Amino acid sequence: MSLITKFLSTLLHRREAGIAVMIVLLALVVGAIQPRFLTLETLRIIALAIPLILIAAMGQMMVLVARHVDLSIGSILAFSSIIAGIMFRDLPEVPIIISIIAAIACGAALGFVNGVIVTLFKLPSIIVTLGTLSLYRGLVFLVSGARQVDPQYIPRSLIEMSQTSPIFGIPWIVILAFVIALLTYFFLDHVRLGRQIYALGSNPVAAPLRGIKVVPLTILVFTMSGALAGLTGIIYASRFGYVNPGITGVGFEFTVIAAVVIGGVSINGGVGTVLGTVLGVILLGMVNVALPLLGVSAFWQDVIYGAVIVIALLIDKSVRDRSARALAAARSAA
Amino acid sequence: MTTRTETVKHTRDSADARPMWQVVLVRPEVMTFALLVGAFIIASNLSPFFSDAQFILESSTYYVEYSIIALVLTLVIISGEIDLSPAAMMALSACVFAALYQAGLPIGLAMIASLATGVLMGLFNGILVVVFKLPSIIVTIGTLTLYRGLAQVLAGDRSIGKFPQWFNGIDYRLILDVPVPVIVFVIISIVLAAILGTTVVGRQIYQVGTSEIASIHAGIRVRRIKLGLFVAMGVASSIGGLLTASRLASVRYDMATGGELQMVLMVMLGGTYIFGGRGSILGTFLASWLLVIIATGMTVANIAITAQLIVMGALLIISIIATNAIYARTQR
């Protein structure tokens, strides 16, 4: 096999390649039907749809890699968002950056609580976070008095984050999202703690034997997921210009989980890359924008998300089965 | 070193039997019952309405649809699986019913079609779990989004109503002073408790949940049992959806949004073990009434519906912690 074909075959056997191919195909098909899809304006809309999902997806991806699930991120997003909104409204003399930091800290604190409950009582994270999904949403209503933070209170400079651009017309929040993705990549691939998350997820029994401190690591993962959901809350306020306790972030967890599993992150832990997740988010963002352009009712969006989750799980399963068989064959050959 | 600990283990092999009072009293259902009595006393102090059985029966009709599904969910969780899609299945089967009726189908046929939708949805969940061996916990998150989405496609954002008069308001039909949905709930409880407690299949459900591999070796048809349970979930959800449609006299795609939390909460409060193999219908039955009293109690006490979200979420977490603690104590 020549070097080039070998290179091509490794490239094609990566999970990310499949998603990239799907992205290109989707762009071509939708573009063929509706040429407006292949314009810069559409690209800008897609780019703006990405940051919200991408930042939270980085957190969810780490949680899934550690063999857990976090269903509460939609409520954490809302909580951080409403805290920031209330501070903007009631404490206008406080610098914006302080409010933003406070909101992210709130998200981290709620994530920390998730992690502590899961590890301290050895409970399945899905049930715990189903509980905190409701609990945190209740807190959102409680602190806000069930009142919306109206657009006039959201600072202009924050809203401009999603409108103005420092370079090439790419809005600030898009750049921020990709910086977060790069940092996550660096953390997961080049920091010992990040590698330990993979070790923990691929074999939770063996992890402590290798000297991994499972409890603090799990709590850290949930805390990071909470903090990133909190940051997403700020982006939400910037993007939509209001915070509503009953609307903000409802059902957001399903979108994020869909994006992450399309990106090839295995629900059985230990497998998943930042690149795959980024591509998964982009694919989902493209689908979002393509639907109205194709004249498909927005009602189909959830159907597509659900189908995408199920299909991604089936693909993941078949990939795992195949690699397990290959491993068994290699072992018996040796 | 190893041998010594092993000999020590052997002498501990047959631990002292737990005293009788512990066997009877230290079990999750007793906790549920104590909570039920406690909640009842607090609630009747809060409002004189609660000493009136009729009031409790009437208010229970808001939750009894969930309770019926929670009974079947109990079996699913005992068998070691979980289903988070029932609320979405309620919505979709109710939307199928309403859309077909509106399209001119006789109402009886529309109801049968709705039940068939339930069977199909349950079958789909079951096949993904049993045949494709995907973890139910995450698959049903996918199908919950899928079913809810289909309901939205079918019904759009309008509510479908104008059912014939006899169909509406089943919660106001009384038999012996008891609303019909509550009677359905009690009958299903008795049937499922009998199946779980006395039949071979019932005992096999426990065995599957305790150790799936051991049950396969013991010749239990694990896949068939699990598939059957998921289909039963679909049917129960469809019944729940139809009852809700009758109570509200209309159907929207967002029916029972977030209902999965309440159903899982009923099962967990009833002392069913989240990891499978333990639990009872009696527990879920008691927990359903507990939830009715807590929820209506908070409404009567003028606690905002939003604060109820906090209580429900906290209760879910506390109930799993308590149940796990009780089982950890009694595990030998």
B54: enclosing H helix or E strand: helix B53-60
Count Cβ–Cβ pairs < 8 Å, chain A vs chain B: 143
- What is the number of domains present in chain A? 1
Q: Assess B37–A contact: CB distance below 8 Å, yes or no.
A: no
pLDDT band of B332, cuts 50, 70, 90: very low
Residue B51's contacts (CB-CB under 8 Å, 6 or more residues apart) are B44
B52-82 pLDDT per residue, tens: 777 777 777 778 889 999 999 999 999 988 8
Q: Which residue has the tokens 């002292």?
A: B16
CATH number of residue B310's parent domain:
1.10.3470
pLDDT band of A13, cuts 50, 70, 90: low
What confidence score (pLDDT) does residue A218 get? Answer: 92
CA-based nearest residue to A23, from A8, A7, A37: A37
What confidence score (pLDDT) does residue B3 get? Answer: 46
Is A137 within 8 Å of B150 when comparing Cβ atoms? no
Q: Assess B142–A contact: CB distance below 8 Å, yes or no.
A: yes
User: Could you tell me if residue A9 is inside a domain?
Assistant: no
Mean pLDDT across the stretch A98-122? Answer: 91
Q: Which residues of A touch B128 (CB under 8 A)?
A: 310, 313-314
Q: Are A245 and A143 in contact (CB under 8 A)?
A: no
Is A135 within 8 Å of B135 when comparing Cβ atoms? no
Spatial separation of the C-alpha atoms in residues A200 and B53, rounded to whole Å = 53
User: Could you tell me if residue B321 is inside a domain?
Assistant: yes
CA-based nearest residue to B266, from B294, B246, B308: B294
Is B148 within 8 Å of A268 when comparing Cβ atoms? no
B133-166 pLDDT per residue, tens: 888 888 888 898 899 889 888 887 788 877 777 7
User: Could you tell me if residue B11 is inside a domain?
Assistant: no
Is A142 within 8 Å of B134 when comparing Cβ atoms? no
For residue A109, pLDDT over 90 is answered with yes
**Of chain B residues 71-90, which have a CB less than 8 A from chain A?**
82, 84
What confidence score (pLDDT) does residue A1 get? Answer: 54
**CA of B144, closest CA in chain A: separation in Å?**
7
B174: enclosing H helix or E strand: strand B174-175
A269-317 pLDDT per residue, tens: 788 888 889 988 988 888 888 888 887 777 788 888 888 888 878 877 7
User: Could you tell me if residue A185 is inside a domain?
Assistant: yes
User: Could you tell me if residue B331 is inside a domain?
Assistant: no
Nearest to B274 among A124, A141, A142 (CB): A124
Cβ-count burial B43-72 (b if 16+ within 10 Å, e if not): beeeeebbeeeeebbbbbbbbbbbbbbbbb
Q: Burial of A66 by CB count in 10 Å (0-12 exposed, 13-18 middle, 19+ buried)?
A: buried
Residue A212 in tokens: 């991994």
Q: Burial of B304 by CB count in 10 Å (0-12 exposed, 13-18 middle, 19+ buried)?
A: middle
pLDDT band of A230, cuts 50, 70, 90: very high
B283-307 pLDDT per residue, tens: 899 888 888 888 887 777 777 777 7
Measure Cα distances from B321 to A128, B110, B328 in Å: 10, 43, 10
For residue B229, pLDDT over 90 is answered with yes
pLDDT band of A9, cuts 50, 70, 90: low
CATH number of residue A32's parent domain:
1.10.3470
What range does the domain containing B93 cover?
Answer: 29-41+48-326
The residue among B136, B309, B311, B312 with the most chain A CBs within 10 A of its CB, best to mutate, is B309
Q: What pairing do the DSSP bridges indicate for beta strands B178-179 and B174-175? A: antiparallel
Q: Are B75 and B196 in contact (CB under 8 A)?
A: yes
Closest residue in B to A121 (Cα) is: B321
**What average pLDDT does chain B have?**
82
- Please, which residues bridge with residue A149 across strands? A243
For residue A63, pLDDT over 90 is answered with yes
Residue A89's contacts (CB-CB under 8 Å, 6 or more residues apart) are A149, A153
User: Could you tell me if residue A10 is inside a domain?
Assistant: no
pLDDT band of B101, cuts 50, 70, 90: confident
Q: Which residue has the tokens 């602190």?
A: A143
How far the first Cα of chain B sits from its last, in Å, is: 24
Q: What percent of chain B has pLDDT over 70?
A: 89
Measure Cα distances from A85 to A82, A155, A250, B113 in Å: 5, 9, 17, 47
pLDDT band of B125, cuts 50, 70, 90: very high
**Of chain A residues 245-264, which have a CB less than 8 A from chain B?**
245, 254, 257-258, 261
For residue B327, pLDDT over 80 is answered with no
DSSP letter for each residue of A89-138: HH-TTS-HHHHHHHHHHHHHHHHHHHHHHHHHTT--HHHHHHHHHHHHHH
What confidence score (pLDDT) does residue A113 get? Answer: 93
User: Could you tell me if residue A257 is inside a domain?
Assistant: yes
Spatial separation of the C-alpha atoms in residues A148 and A128, rounded to whole Å = 28
**CA of B228, closest CA in chain A: separation in Å?**
21
What confidence score (pLDDT) does residue B232 get? Answer: 93
**CA of B172, closest CA in chain A: separation in Å?**
30
For residue B9, pLDDT over 60 is answered with no
Residue A178 in tokens: 């990709």
What range does the domain containing A249 cover?
Answer: 15-333
- What is the number of domains present in chain B? 1
**Cα A274 off chain centre by:** 10
Q: What percent of chain A has pLDDT over 90?
A: 19
Mean pLDDT across the stretch B217-230? Answer: 88
B216: enclosing H helix or E strand: helix B212-217
Is A124 within 8 Å of B314 when comparing Cβ atoms? no
Mean pLDDT across the stretch A140-161? Answer: 77
Closest residue in B to A316 (Cα) is: B134
User: Could you tell me if residue B37 is inside a domain?
Assistant: yes
